Amino acid sequence: ETAILANKFRGCLVSAVLGDCLGAPYEGEESEEISKVVLQKYFDKLEGPYFKSPQKMYTDDTSMTKTVAESLIHIGGFDAKDMADRFVKEFYKDPRRGYGQNVIDVFAKLRKRTTDDVFLPAQEQFGGSGSYGNGGAMRIAPVPLFCHKSYDNMLHVAKQSTLITHSNVLGINGALLQCIAIHQSLALNPDEPLDVKKFSSDLKRKMSVIEETETSDDDSDSEAGNAYVEQLEAMDKLLEKDLGGIPISDEEVERTLGTSVAALHSVPTAIFCFLRAQNPIPDIKTDNIVRRTLQYAISLGGDTDTIASMAGAIAGAFCGYEAINENVQKHCEGVEEAISAADKIHSIIEGS
Ligand code: 8NA
Ligand code: MG
Ligand code: MG
Ligand code: MG
């Protein structure tokens, strides 16, 4: 039982790194520009007999995920100031990782700050509306691992850790959705076929609770409404089509769910990639669900590193580390650190 969980923790964090490293070269490209044949060859080559080549570098997604894990491990729990300080330190140590501009501004303010309120700089962004980018969601993976025994505490830590850089309700709820999706995957047996409809209806039920709470205790802007539940409903329609044998074009996914840096237009997309990848996808030749998830996520274009990283985290939490091709791991920077962080988190929570 505990060995299975340890394996899933590694699977989650390692697949998140693979999605970031493998997706980064395609970030910002349109899906039409990404040839499915070339992408198939890219993965085949990386999975094939090991060959020496420069490592694919990780980006901000992995830098920040690593930092979230380090803070939770170091403190043995969540501490906003420790996490904020570590984000800032990591950014100034290694700034050229493709961070979003808004986040860079937040780090500059955090570094110069004169108060202990580490949430203030994020709240001031975008004229006070805060960032709705996917930066909270892209780094959330260590939270559902660390807090997997307590759902309520998990949501609390997910929200607080996101608020350090993203205070817009869409940025926060995107991180919560990604967190819940990983949490659900951790609880499932990968030897049994995944119940796609149940996975989605569970997500929708939990998100509707979150979105109802958000709207009632925040009278100033209730415009967020049930944006994520609506996205999940749109996702269901696409998945139903797929299960009914009706082809789904990349253009349709892009138009319905989106592939942008906005959390609302990338987190549901990542979940969709994972769920669709439970079954074969045209032009993707592999039996491996983690690879199919990553390859499909990248093929959709847009914010490829982040969507593949988020989709990968969910897929890896479901399938476990043993499902991940060893050769691919050697081509990606940051895999050893992800394994070590997963093992440390596992030993902390099993020891308690
Ligand atoms: P962020 O907080 O800077 O948000 C990303 C972008 O979303 C911002 O730069 C704005 O353009 C826009 N945005 C967010 N909130 C608002 C708002 N309230 N009003 C108007 N515009 C808004 O950064 P983040 O950490 O959320 O972003 C993560 C993404 O940035 C990841 O994809 C990551 O890989 C990185 N990144 C993405 C690209 C890309 O073009 N796909 C390029 C470089 C870096
Ligand atoms: Mg294409
Ligand atoms: Mg990135
Ligand atoms: Mg990105």
Ligand 3 is an ion; residues with CB less than 5 A from it: 59-61, 98, 305
Region 222-249: mean pLDDT is 92
Q: How confident is the model at residue 45 (pLDDT cuts 50, 70, 90)?
A: very high
303 lines ligand 1 (CB under 6 A): yes
Q: How confident is the model at residue 137 (pLDDT cuts 50, 70, 90)?
A: very high
**How far is CA 141 from each of CA 31, 135, 316, rounded to the nearest angstrom?**
26, 12, 11
Phi and psi at 107, nearest 5°, equal -65, -40
**Chain segment 100-131, per-residue pLDDT in tens:** 999 999 999 999 988 889 999 999 999 999 99
DSSP state of 55: P
Q: What is the ipTM of this complex?
A: 0.95
Ligand nearest to the CA of 58: 3
> To which residue do tokens 């940051």 refer?
334
- Which residue lies with its CA nearest to atom 28 of ligand 1? 135
**Chain segment 160-219, per-residue pLDDT in tens:** 999 999 999 999 999 999 999 999 999 999 999 999 999 999 999 999 999 998 655 554
132 lines ligand 1 (CB under 6 A): yes
60 lines ligand 1 (CB under 6 A): yes
The CA 244 to ligand 4 mean position distance, Å, reads 32
Q: How confident is the model at residue 148 (pLDDT cuts 50, 70, 90)?
A: very high
pLDDT over 90, % of the chain: 92
Res 333: pLDDT: 97
Res 146: pLDDT: 98
List the structure tokens of 266: 């990338």
Nearest Cα to 145, choosing from 309, 294, 312, 314? 314
Residue 246 has pLDDT above 60, yes or no: yes
Residue 222 has pLDDT above 70, yes or no: no
Q: How confident is the model at residue 152 (pLDDT cuts 50, 70, 90)?
A: very high
Choose which residue among 131, 166, 265 to substitute to test ligand 1 binding: the one with the highest number of ligand atoms within 8 A of its C-beta: 131
- Look at 136-150, 153-167, 216-230 and tell me which has the smallest mean pLDDT: 216-230
Res 299: pLDDT: 97
Contact 343, 9 (CB under 8 A): yes
Res 116: pLDDT: 83
Choose which residue among 22, 102, 165 to substitute to test ligand 1 binding: the one with the highest number of ligand atoms within 8 A of its C-beta: 102
105 lines ligand 1 (CB under 6 A): no
Contact 275, 239 (CB under 8 A): yes
The Cα–Cα gap between 283 and 290 comes to 16
**Chain segment 325-345, per-residue pLDDT in tens:** 999 999 999 999 999 999 999
Sign of CA dihedral 294, 297, 299, 301: negative
Compute the mean pLDDT over every residue in the chain, rounded to the nearest whole number: 95
